[in-house]
Chains A and B, each alone.
Chain A
Amino acid sequence: MTDTTDQKASAPVMEFQTYRAARNQWWDVWDQFKTHKGALFGLGFFIFMLLFVFVGPLIWTMDPQFIDIRARNAGSSLAHPLGTDQLGRDTLARMMAGGQTSIAVGLTAMLLALFLGTLIGVLAGYFRKIDGLLMRTTDLFLALPLLPLLLVIIMLYRDNLRAAFGPEGGIFVLIVVVIGATSWMQTARVVRGDVLAIKEREFVLAARSIGTPPHRMITRHLLPNVMSPIMVSATLGIANAIITESALSFLGLGFPSDFPTWGRLLFDATDWLTQNPERVIWPGLAISLTVLSVNYIGDGLRDALDPRIRGR
């Protein structure tokens, strides 16, 4: 058990390897991470979710798109442990298939937004010369009306992407890029605000006075100190991406309608709230608990990456 968690644990941590060089530090980080109960629990649950959606379909082999019209709107039974929807499609199979898309979209779009937001925020906060330009760009992105923008992007690029990556792959790339490219602004503004304050602190002045080059200043001194708002942005970002995806698909701007995602399952089930409440519960729980587990992992990681706390 410990072996597997061990390997998996390094996967999310890898993301931040670029910021910190020395390899032996990672054992300290892991030791600190292990002491955080919530983080361990979150990690465990997240791994369980990954297994459920990626390995689950190998065990529960029902086709999520198969319509068994006689079994429509059924409650749980042996044949359909989580019941069926209004066309008699198996909810368990759809939860698994939907989770694959939702987790993949959520993680990639969040990472993209986080990367863009952190990059722009740090650069704008640290280099005064480009601050104005970068922040006005941020204003521009904040002001763009999202829906018409999406319609334009879809119109221009859908057929090209469909030709390059296939119908589902093309839409996946499109959705991830669209969500990522339209949700980095908050992270950028928050990170910039923190960097503005931190770069006036004594330790930064000290580092600068010994001639530390800008890229080392950023990676060694600034980034570790803006970790916590970035972590919050990450957890909020993953929820935001999952929900935005469902809104896009609902508007016909996302995945084909027979292609389940958690957000869509929840949306479709909302009308059935009084007739068939369990249909709402499963996707709602899956989204909330996944976000919650990412939140705890983020908490633990932040603590583990903070040298002051680690020493305690």
Chain B
Amino acid sequence: MLTYTIRRLILAIPTLLFISFIIFLIVKLSPSDPTAGLPLTIPPEVREQIRQSLGVNDPILIQYFKWLKLMMWDEPLHLIEGWTGWNVAPEGGARIISYQTRSPVMDLIIQRMPQTLWVVGTSYIVGILIALPLGIISAYKQYSIFDQVGTFISMVGFSVPTFFTGVLFIVIFAVNLGWFPSVYNTTHVVTDWDSFVVQLKQIIMPVMVLGLYNASQISRYMRASMLDNLNQDYVRTARAKGLNEKVVVLVHVLRNSMIPVVTVIALNIPAVFGGAIITEQVFKVNGIGQLLIIAIQGGDVPVVQTVSFIFAVLIVLFNLLADVLYGVLDPRIRYD
């Protein structure tokens, strides 16, 4: 398994280079323009000058290699310098600069990480914590009232889009009851218990909206997979051996049912980093998701490219992690 992991990690480098190039092509080819958002009162010649100064019209390959060099060499150096204080980055060295803000893209991403991790990360954990028990009990007591209600709620949770549930929550809890704020304050810092309560209040609605959606999806896979395994011969054997029912279900069956669930969870963790475009917009969280959508709308190629690339790295890593976990969950799975 170790050699497999190392081989996959080495293979990941050309894969990621290829992916980054494809992403770059798509982002460049898509019809967008950094001057599209400007008022029409700004004349075409000025727009052309702005594009010129951004380097939008350079040949595609040159733009790509410029970006690649910055991404692979200069940005990591700046990151190391930022973390350790060592003076390794070239003085006044080039950075990946966003078209819209004219500031380094990495700074934007770092600035937005906290709120995205707070909201999307918490919602993902909440989603998993709801989904696993829900899926297990639903499967164990198939067609019980609990199962029926759980199925209904998770189907509604998945099929009603977040643009609607978000607004519904705001109308109920922010407008009518006045319990929670409808606008997320990104400058809020948690220092003590009181400020933690404030933070809790402002994340609770987006976390519930996203958590419901995540829980629906994971619980369906959990339930289906448990059902498959509950009828297997080994379960009968285990019961016949006189094993405690709890051990049978929560150790034997659960472990064998985890493969699809692990796949789905690992598949969606990169999405935590990617933020949630709609939910972030509804609650004005302004995290990575909002950064990405504004960049796409504003034709901000460096931001779209960099965020997508980091996203791709996470996808490759977490899918590798899932593959490794398969082997842990079911030792019969061999890759060598």
| Chain A interface (Cβ < 8 Å from any Cβ of B) | 38, 128, 132, 135-136, 138-140, 142-145, 147-149, 151-152, 155, 185-186, 189-190, 193-194, 196-197, 200-201, 225, 228-229, 231-232, 235-236, 239, 242-243, 246-247, 263, 266-267, 270-271, 273-274, 280, 284, 287-288, 290-292, 295, 302, 306, 308-309
Contacts and interface: CB of A to CB of B under 8 A. Distances in A.
B155 A295 contact: yes
Contacts of A132: 11
Contact of A263 (B26, B31, B161): B161
B149 interface: no
A229 B225 contact: yes
Interface in B43-89: none
Nearest to B334: A200
Nearest to A36: B143
Interface string B10-31: 0100010011001100110111
B332 A200 contact: yes
A139 B158 contact: no
Nearest to A142: B315
Contacts of B262: 193
Contacts of A302: 224
A136 B15 contact: yes
A236 B171 CA distance: 27
Contacts of A155: 29-31
A294 B330 CA distance: 32
Contact of B26 (A148, A242, A246, A267): A148
B261 to A, nearest CB: 9
Contacts of A189: 263-264, 267, 319, 322
Contact of B231 (A138, A284, A309): A309
Given A228-B224, A288-B155, A308-B231, A148 B161 contact: no
A267 B155 CA distance: 19
A132 B15 CA distance: 11
A246 B259 CA distance: 32
Interface string B191-230: 0000000000000000000000000010011001101100
A155 B330 CA distance: 46
A147 B159 contact: no
Nearest to B256: A197
A193 B26 contact: no
A194 B260 contact: yes
Nearest to B147: A38
B108 interface: no
A143 B152 contact: no
A284 B312 CA distance: 34
B316 interface: yes
B160 A287 contact: yes
Contacts of B19: 139-140, 143
14 contacts: A139-B15, A139-B316, A144-B23, A145-B23, A145-B304, A152-B26, A189-B319, A194-B260, A229-B224, A231-B224, A235-B220, A236-B220, A266-B164, A292-B152
Question: Majority SS of interface residues in chain A?
Answer: helix
Given A143-B23, A201-B332, 15 more contacts: A138-B319, A143-B311, A144-B23, A144-B26, A145-B23, A148-B26, A186-B264, A189-B319, A193-B262, A225-B228, A235-B155, A235-B220, A267-B163, A267-B164, A302-B224
B160 A232 contact: no
Nearest to A250: B163
A271 B164 CA distance: 9
B298 to A, nearest CB: 12
Contacts of A38: 143, 148
B328 interface: no
A40 to B, nearest CB: 13
Given A236-B217, A287-B159, A139 B315 contact: yes
B163 A239 contact: no
Q: Which 8 A-B pairs have the closest CB atoms?
A: A143-B312, A200-B332, A148-B30, A291-B159, A239-B159, A151-B30, A228-B224, A292-B155
Contact of A143 (B224, B308, B322): B308
Given A196-B333, A197-B330, A239-B158, A190 B264 contact: yes
Contact of A190 (B260, B270, B296): B260
B31 A140 contact: no
Contacts of B267: 142, 185-186, 189
Contacts of B260: 190, 193-194, 229
B167 to A, nearest CB: 5
B3 to A, nearest CB: 14
A148 B296 contact: yes
Contact of A291 (B155, B163, B167, B330): B155
A104 to B, nearest CB: 17
A270 B164 contact: yes
B156 interface: yes
Contact of B22 (A140, A246, A290): A140
A140 B19 CA distance: 6
B273 interface: no
A270 B170 CA distance: 12
A263 B278 CA distance: 15
B156 A193 contact: no
A155 B152 CA distance: 40
Given A196-B326, A266-B161, A190 B22 contact: no
A155 B29 CA distance: 9
B168 interface: yes
